[in-house]
Each structure stands twice: as structure tokens, then as C-alpha cells.
Amino acid sequence: MKITVCFDKLSPDPWVQGLQSALPQARVSAWSPGAAQADWAIVWTPPQQFIDEQPGLQALFNIGAGVDALLKLQLPPGLKVVRLDDAGMSVQMAEYVCHAVIRHFRELDGYDADAQAGKWSYRKPRSRSDFPVGVMGLGVLGQRVARALKVFDFPVNGYSRSPKQLDGVRCYAGPEALPAFLQASRVLVNLMPLTPETENILNHTTLSQLQKGGYVINVARGSHLVDEDLLSLIDSGHLAGAMLDVFRTEPLPAAHPFWQHPKISVTPHTSARTLREESIAQISGKILALQRGEPINGVVDPGRGY
Ligand SMILES: NC(=O)c1ccc[n+]([C@@H]2O[C@H](COP(=O)([O-])OP(=O)(O)OC[C@H]3O[C@@H](n4cnc5c(N)ncnc54)[C@H](OP(=O)(O)O)[C@@H]3O)[C@@H](O)[C@H]2O)c1
């Protein structure tokens, strides 16, 4: 069994070593142009040349949950594309989103500013029933986030493409339910995949349907959000602010207004990082399962785009 590793802007060496130890019977190597045919590939934003030179692959394993960049390539029809299925990401996402929601709800930035000014000040406690959180995307990450928010007793709404039932979460499904979901939510957490249907979905029309004083947490993809619409709704006072982890252009350009905006917090696409050991264990387990002819989770449906 031959495994090739092809990463953009990331050293393949520790992955090659890790996969080799997990699958001693395999021959694992880093791809370079003209390399021999492999059976399985582990990739992160590979070039089209890689796909064109490896027509014999049985599956392509993406080392992230989002496959939007990969699906922009010309892939041979029928090639199995497999995404990471949690692999340690959902707990990171839950802690990031709970932090963002609690920091906003408890006005911790305000206390921080007061402390910087040496001011001992109290703010009136706010009621969490006034802060319903809407989680857009109830997949592997969104469900974990929704469950984590319930631990703090926030009212939680969920939105997905197909209907879902989740304990304690008011679930909405499909585009016709989107306005009701938004109107029922004050804090919005985006955890949808980037597809032609979801690109630019956080725009003036949708964001203005959030309850007054709304707050946006975007941890999915930058191209979900129309930047100018977010800025104008914050500046008009309809939205209270945002915490953003993902951007249309990454790294976020130095001149982008998000950096300096007093009501926007920026983090560098770090809310849920790929953990190498967990990912290697998951991918090698899936290669062995596929070899035995068993079904696996995390196979991407190219028609749906995720
Ligand atoms: N910032 C980071 O560090 C980071 C890390 C990992 C992942 N991500 C992003 O997070 C995204 C979600 O990951 P995941 O593993 O939770 O994905 P997932 O398991 O595929 O779940 C996607 C969810 O979005 C819903 N959805 C898809 N298209 C929709 C549409 N048009 N309208 C309404 N709902 C729609 C799906 O609905 P159904 O349940 O009906 O299919 C599903 O509930 C990834 O695609 C990636 O972009 C970001």
C-alpha cells in the first residue's frame, strides 16, 4: 500500500513519519512532481498538478473539516474525498464559541477597559434569556457547540439543511425557516460549510433579522460573511459586535477595518486546529476500514459540496 502526502505551506515530514508508524505495512512518502502512483493521499490544498498526476488514488483524505478549497479542483469523477470527522476539533470549537458568547454576555471587554483605567465598576447583570444563541450548521462541530452552550443555560436555536432533533435545542431547517431562526436569535454562531448555497449568507438581509443588539461569531469560512454589511450593521447600532476567526483573505490584510474596529475581535483562524496525532489515528483507521470494504464516516458528497 502506497500513501502520498501533499500539503501546501505545511511540512509533510511529521505526517509522513506519523503515518508510517501507524501503518508500518505501508510505504509513505511526501509527494513531489513526477512521484510514483500512490493508492491513498493525505492532502491540504494540493495543486491541480497533484490530482492530474495521481489518477489511481482510492481516496483523498483532507486534513481539515472544510473541503471547499479541495472541491474547487478538477477531481476525477468517483474519487472518494474524506474530511476530518472531529478528530479533536469539536472540543476546541466548543471552548472558543463558549468563550466568545460568555465574554460578550458578561461584558468582560467592558470590565477589562475599566480595569485598565483603574476603575472598580459594576454593570447590571443581564438575563441569559435575553441572549438566545443561534447555531447555524448542526454538523459535527455545530452539535457539540450547541450542547456546550446548553451547559451554561443559554437558550439555543439550531439551523441546518435537513431537519434535526437535539435535546434542548430549538431546531429550524431549510431556507424557508431561516428568517424565523434569525429572528429567534441574538447571538449568531456560523458553523456551516462553504458551498454555493452558503456563500455570502451572512449579509445585510440576514444579519438585520437578528434581534437588536445581535452579536456575530464566524468560525466557519470568511466568504460566508459580507464584510461591509457586518460593519454597517455594527456602526448603525443594530449589531453589538462580532468575534471573527475566518476571513475572505487570510492572513487578514493589514489595512482591513476589522483589525482596528473597537467592537470586533479578530483571531487568526485558530478556533479549531487540526491535531496531528488524532488525525493520523483517524485517517489510518479509515484506510484500513476501506481496505476491508467497510463503510466510513466523513465521506464528502460532491453534489452537496460538503
Ligand atoms: N475556524 C476553524 O478553525 C474551523 C475548523 C474546522 C472547521 N471549520 C468550518 O466549520 C465547518 C463545519 O464543520 P462540521 O465538521 O461541523 O461540518 P458538517 O459536519 O459537514 O456539518 C455542516 C452542517 O451545516 C449544515 N448545512 C450545510 N449546508 C447548509 C445550508 N445550505 N443551509 C443550512 N444548513 C446547511 C448541514 O446540514 P445537514 O445536517 O442537514 O447536512 C450540517 O448540519 C466546516 O465546513 C469548516 O468550514 C472551521
Ligand 1 pocket residues where CB is under 6 Å: 65-66, 89, 137-142, 159-162, 191-195, 197-198, 219-221, 245-246, 269, 271-272, 306
Q: Which of 215, 214, 222 has the alpha carbon at shortest distance from 243?
A: 215
End-to-end CA distance of the chain: 28
pTM above 0.75, yes or no: yes
Q: How far apart are CA 12 and CA 280, in angstroms?
A: 12
Query: What tens-digit pLDDT sequence spans the chain (306 residues)?
Result: 999 999 998 999 999 999 999 999 999 999 999 999 999 999 999 999 999 999 999 999 999 999 999 999 999 999 999 999 999 999 999 999 999 999 999 999 999 999 999 999 999 999 999 999 999 999 999 999 999 999 999 999 999 999 999 999 999 999 999 999 999 999 999 999 999 999 999 999 999 999 999 999 999 999 999 999 999 999 999 999 999 999 999 999 999 999 999 999 999 999 999 999 999 999 999 999 999 999 999 999 999 999
Q: Which of 38, 102, 85, 8 has the alpha carbon at shortest distance from 278?
A: 85
Which amino acid would we find at residue 209?
Answer: Q
Q: Going by CA atoms, what residue is nearest to atom 1 of ligand 1? A: 219
How far, in Å, is the centroid of ligand 1 from the Cα of 28? 30
